[in-house]
Structure 1
Amino acid sequence: MAFEERIDDGSAAGFAAGGQSSLDEAYRSVGVGGGSGLRRFLAFLGPGFLVAVGYMDPGNWATSIAGGSQFGYTLLAAVLLSSLMAILLQALCARFAIATGKDLAEACREYFPRAVSYPLWLLAELAIVATDLAEVIGTAIGLQLLFGLPLVWGVAVTALDVFLILFLQSRGFRWLEAFVATMILVIAVCFLGQMILAHPSVAGVLGGLVPSPELVTDNRMLYLALGILGATVMPHNLYLHTGVLHTRAYALDKKGREQAIRYATIDSTTALCFAFLVNASILILAAAAFFSTGNGAVEDLTDAHALLEPLLGSALAPTLFAVALLASGLSSTVTATLAGQIVMQGFLRLRLPIVVRRLVTRGLAIVPAALAIVAYGEKGAAELLVLSQVVLSLQLPFAVVPLVLFSAQKSRMGAHMPARWLLAVTAVIAVVIVVLNAKLVADFLAGAA
């Protein structure tokens, strides 16, 4: 089925087809009109940080620490390239959402036949479960490190975060955004303190930002690079961003939408640049604390925490690490829940109470996490954490390709077509993602991965 026709004169009728299918309770609930340009921009500030927190969730920690401890600063180039890809893709998300009045899940349901849209829905749900799995394990490890709570019990306790989300949603959408922004600030401050203690090599950092051929030729490095890609350019964030932008009550004429696109793009770009600094600091910390001191591969977050004090010579370092990890898990759980709501409502037009939706998603993450911990201990949890990020990377093409396809259709985008260079670059990004994932699968099947 094709998209319902939209009116390109920017009238409200042009948005009727989009309706209020995603995040009904918050639809156009945040006013953006009036006041100075700065005041209007501040009204748009928020969705980008909801997206950005997904780029610094516990899954990023596992892949970045593994990469930094094994290969030093080399994988910084993967963090940088992934962040640049994320900035461009989220900019395309902002333009698509505001120009069409739809989120990506709605668009897929309306454009593709059911034989295609249903598998896309299942893949999107799988990506959200993989994201939630990383948050479950990361939060449980944070609770263990700070309070000594056994890992299995920490996994069970994470189910209770539904009450935090319910409370925040009852206070309004801006409260959700404020909570996430506060958690990001906590993470940033914690890593700034650790970086000061670690004294990383400036020359090593700058050299690591230049891509190395080993990123493709070394199978283990490629595996971790794809894990970083999956942890950075997360498929559920594409659905999330195109949904949460509809919380803003921007003017529906052409000028109003152009202004909304501009402010939303600045918002997401600023937030993702901040996320890049946090992600890079995680890898730099691992390279400086573990690789440079000859400690070798460190893939377990618990081991990383234990090694920080003797290596950096301060009891403050591991505490900062644990606090940041807990803040990361708590904040990213909010965005995963929102993404799940958008995906389910967009693809299926199915509205579940937030408690039911959250418990189902979290249950699907808790069960494998608990089984892995019981069967293999903390090592199993660490390996599951890295694997979840590779799973996310494998899901990326099924979200990126539809986004680029829809954004290139003038009949859908009207007067707000993306610049040709943006379409060209994002198309190249989609091809690169598909090719790299195909290589990973081929290596795995050949027994090389």
Structure 2
Amino acid sequence: MFQKPRWRKFLSYVGPGFLVSMAYIDPGSMETDLQTGANYTFELLWVILIGFTFALIIQSLAANLGVSTGKHLSELCKFEYPKYVKYCLWLLAEFAVICADIPEVIGTAFALNILFHLPLWIGVLITGLSTLLLLGLQRYGVQKLEMLISVLILVMAACFFGEMNYVKPPVAAVVKGLFVPRLSGQGAIGSAIALWGSIIVPHNLFLYSALVLSRKVPRSVRAINDACQFHLIGSGFALVVAFLINVAIISVTGTICSANNMSDDIANQCNNLNLDSAPFLLKNVLGRSSSIIYAIALLASGQSASITATYSGQFIMEGFLDLKMRLWIRNLLTRCIAIAPSLTVTIIGGSKGAAQLIIITTMVLAFELPFALIPLLKFSNSNPKMGPHKNSIYIMVIAWILGVALTGFNLYYLITAFVGWLIHSKLPKIANVFIGIIVFPLMLIYVLAILYLTFRKDTAVTFTEPITLDQPMAQNNVEQGLSNSYEVVEADHIPYSEDLVDIPLPE
């Protein structure tokens, strides 16, 4: 019986990692990178390194969970938690999708402003139609569409790499920024949280655990282990590319905005840097065409990230509620909710307010992360969920340490920032008292919810024993996902979702 070479098997598992990695180079990530480089030069590069290391670990856990159980994270949450907890987790996950879509709305509006000089608020309204148009183009094949978008984003990445070669960031300062943690003041802590929120997004955990089900994996120990290994390699490669792009953006911005001989015009642009004013960073490489190429890549980035957010929302809704919705309806629903705050802020605050809204939403994503991360970590180390495929104790210890550190970091910032705001607030004292009475109980509920998810004992059993046959030839066919007369009927029932690259509009 013909057996596929391992490298050909690996290629069939590459897709999900690259689709998910688009969330790491979306407008939200770009905005936080630009702000970080302009305000802190290379000081916060270590946040990027730790964030992508953690992202690789938890994405591998999400892939292992989906492959080993045949169910994605939101489905397992539905089986595991009581009804009221399940609905709360679903609402938080949906809110995370909306928060992730807001930067895509604003990023697209900025791109339209650069290309056609449209007011931001008009660009925000147009984004509702632009993504629906892009989803409609998927009838020509999702794989071709995603490939086109990826090429456009890689063009922008190449521009930043070329610019980095031109401005030549100080190597010693970049290396120090990557490996020596520093936080200069309260503002740096907020920026670090925004960076983490743009890298480790909650809905990506639900998405990746579902996308791995688009590959047929035979229910045998060897086949499951191979699939987990292939997904780890594919995801790792995609994350390394995304990591290098983020480092390049910060390095270019930090070098240009910290130069000793920069002109007053560049100094003014660095002081008010956001997505719509960033093209000047690429003038050395692209000249007068920098604005057009940057805007096209920004437009592609926003649209591609919006598609992944739509997929995430679809899987979240199906998993928690067993409710299916056509993708264009799902996208329109999410987009309309995301447009409301984006439109309000762009009308009142203009481009500066829109840029600040992106930073705020990425910080919100960081605070929401525990409600997807903790279930993932617990399920990944659960015998009733994973059986013999539960993850290594060393990986789990590292993941828990990073998760607890990140959550503690967020809580510290949340409490100190709010207390500092109360102390320096110009509101009447009675107003501060009422605000404190409202906010502090909400913080307590937040902490108690995290503790509940952490220490609650899992009860639902979802693991199914792998197929084992007496005949060596039949067992080998099971490992390869082949069917013959020796094979039991159950071996054909491999849990998988329709492959996204093979259908026009996945439902």
Q: Is TM (by shorter chain) over 0.5? A: yes
Give the alignment's Cα RMSD to 1 decimal. Answer: 2.1
In the alignment, does 2:47 pair up with 1:70? Answer: no
> For residue 255 of structure 1, what is the aligned residue in structure 2?
222
2:242 to 265, 270, 275: 275
> Which has the larger displacement, 55-64 or 322-331?
322-331
C-alpha separation between the residues in 1 aligned to 2:194 and 2:237?
23
For 2:242, the aligned partner's letter is A
Provide, for residues 126-171 of structure 1, a one-character-per-residue CA deviation record: whole Å limited to 9, x for no partner: 1110110000101111121123222122112211212312331x34
The aligned runs of 1:89-104 (5 Å cut-off) are 89-104=58-73
C-alpha separation between the residues in 1 aligned to 2:289 and 2:411?
43
C-alpha separation between the residues in 2 aligned to 1:153 and 1:100?
46
C-alpha separation between the residues in 1 aligned to 2:273 and 2:230?
39
1:62–1:386 CA contact under 8 A, matched in 2: yes
User: 1:345, CA displacement in angstroms?
Assistant: 0.8
For 1:332, the aligned partner's letter is A
1:405 to 340, 356, 378: 378
In the alignment, does 2:251 pair up with 1:284? Answer: yes
Provide, for residues 291-344 of structure 1, a one-character-per-residue CA deviation record: whole Å limited to 9, x for no partner: 3356354442223335654x8893344444323322211211111111111111
Structure 1 segments, 4+ long, off by >6 Å, are none
> For residue 6 of structure 1, what is the aligned residue in structure 2?
none
In the alignment, does 2:133 pair up with 1:163? Answer: yes
C-alpha separation between the residues in 2 aligned to 1:131 and 1:43?
28
Aligned length: 413
> For residue 23 of structure 1, what is the aligned residue in structure 2?
none
> For residue 239 of structure 1, what is the aligned residue in structure 2?
206
C-alpha separation between the residues in 2 aligned to 1:419 and 1:91?
12
2:166–2:285 CA contact under 8 A, matched in 1: yes
> For residue 265 of structure 1, what is the aligned residue in structure 2?
232
In the alignment, does 2:104 pair up with 1:135? Answer: yes
In the alignment, does 2:334 pair up with 1:365? Answer: no
1:194 to 137, 152, 163: 163
C-alpha separation between the residues in 2 aligned to 1:430 and 1:34?
41
> For residue 301 of structure 1, what is the aligned residue in structure 2?
275
1:59–1:231 CA contact under 8 A, matched in 2: yes
For 1:241, the aligned partner's letter is Y
Provide, for residues 79-109 of structure 1, a one-character-per-residue CA deviation record: whole Å limited to 9, x for no partner: 1111111011101111111011111111111
C-alpha separation between the residues in 1 aligned to 2:305 and 2:212?
18
C-alpha separation between the residues in 2 aligned to 1:93 and 1:176?
25
Q: Secondary structure at the match of 1:236?
A: helix
The structure number with the bigger radius of gyration is 2
The aligned runs of 1:1-80 (5 Å cut-off) are 35-80=4-49
2:92–2:368 CA contact under 8 A, matched in 1: yes
In the alignment, does 2:154 pair up with 1:185? Answer: yes
> For residue 437 of structure 1, what is the aligned residue in structure 2?
410
User: 1:203, CA displacement in angstroms?
Assistant: 1.9
For 2:394, the aligned partner's letter is W
User: 1:229, CA displacement in angstroms?
Assistant: 0.1
For 1:257, the aligned partner's letter is I
Provide, for residues 227-265 of structure 1, a one-character-per-residue CA deviation record: whole Å limited to 9, x for no partner: 000000111110110011111122222221111111111
Q: 1:172 to 1:318 in 2, by over 3 A?
A: closer
2:97–2:203 CA contact under 8 A, matched in 1: yes
C-alpha separation between the residues in 1 aligned to 2:135 and 2:207?
16
> For residue 392 of structure 1, what is the aligned residue in structure 2?
365
2:159–2:286 CA contact under 8 A, matched in 1: no
User: 1:414, CA displacement in angstroms?
Assistant: 1.3
Q: Secondary structure at the match of 2:118?
A: coil
C-alpha separation between the residues in 2 aligned to 1:34 and 1:332?
37
C-alpha separation between the residues in 1 aligned to 2:145 and 2:390?
31
Q: 1:388 to 1:365 in 2, by over 3 A?
A: same
For 1:304, the aligned partner's letter is A
User: 1:206, CA displacement in angstroms?
Assistant: 1.2
> Which has the larger displacement, 227-236 or 145-154?
145-154
> For residue 305 of structure 2, what is the aligned residue in structure 1?
332
**TM-score w.r.t. length of structure 2:** 0.77
Provide, for residues 15-56 of structure 1, a one-character-per-residue CA deviation record: whole Å limited to 9, x for no partner: xxxxxxxxxxxxxxxxxx953211111111110011111011
C-alpha separation between the residues in 1 aligned to 2:50 and 2:207?
21
For 2:238, the aligned partner's letter is A
1:193–1:320 CA contact under 8 A, matched in 2: no
Q: Secondary structure at the match of 1:212?
A: coil
Q: 1:327 to 1:399 in 2, by over 3 A?
A: same
1:183–1:331 CA contact under 8 A, matched in 2: no
Q: 1:96 to 1:365 in 2, by over 3 A?
A: same
In the alignment, does 2:197 pair up with 1:223? Answer: no
For 1:301, the aligned partner's letter is L
1:194–1:317 CA contact under 8 A, matched in 2: no
For 1:380, the aligned partner's letter is G
> Which has the larger displacement, 292-301 or 230-239?
292-301
C-alpha separation between the residues in 2 aligned to 1:220 and 1:49?
32
For 1:263, the aligned partner's letter is F
Any stretches of 5+ residues in structure 2 without a counterpart?
423-507
Q: Secondary structure at the match of 2:257?
A: helix
C-alpha separation between the residues in 2 aligned to 1:256 and 1:413?
15
> Which has the larger displacement, 177-186 or 429-438?
177-186
Q: 1:255 to 1:288 in 2, by over 3 A?
A: same
User: 1:62, CA displacement in angstroms?
Assistant: 1.2
Instruction: Give me the identity figure in percent.
Output: 34
C-alpha separation between the residues in 1 aligned to 2:421 and 2:401?
27
> Which has the larger displacement, 409-418 or 319-328?
319-328
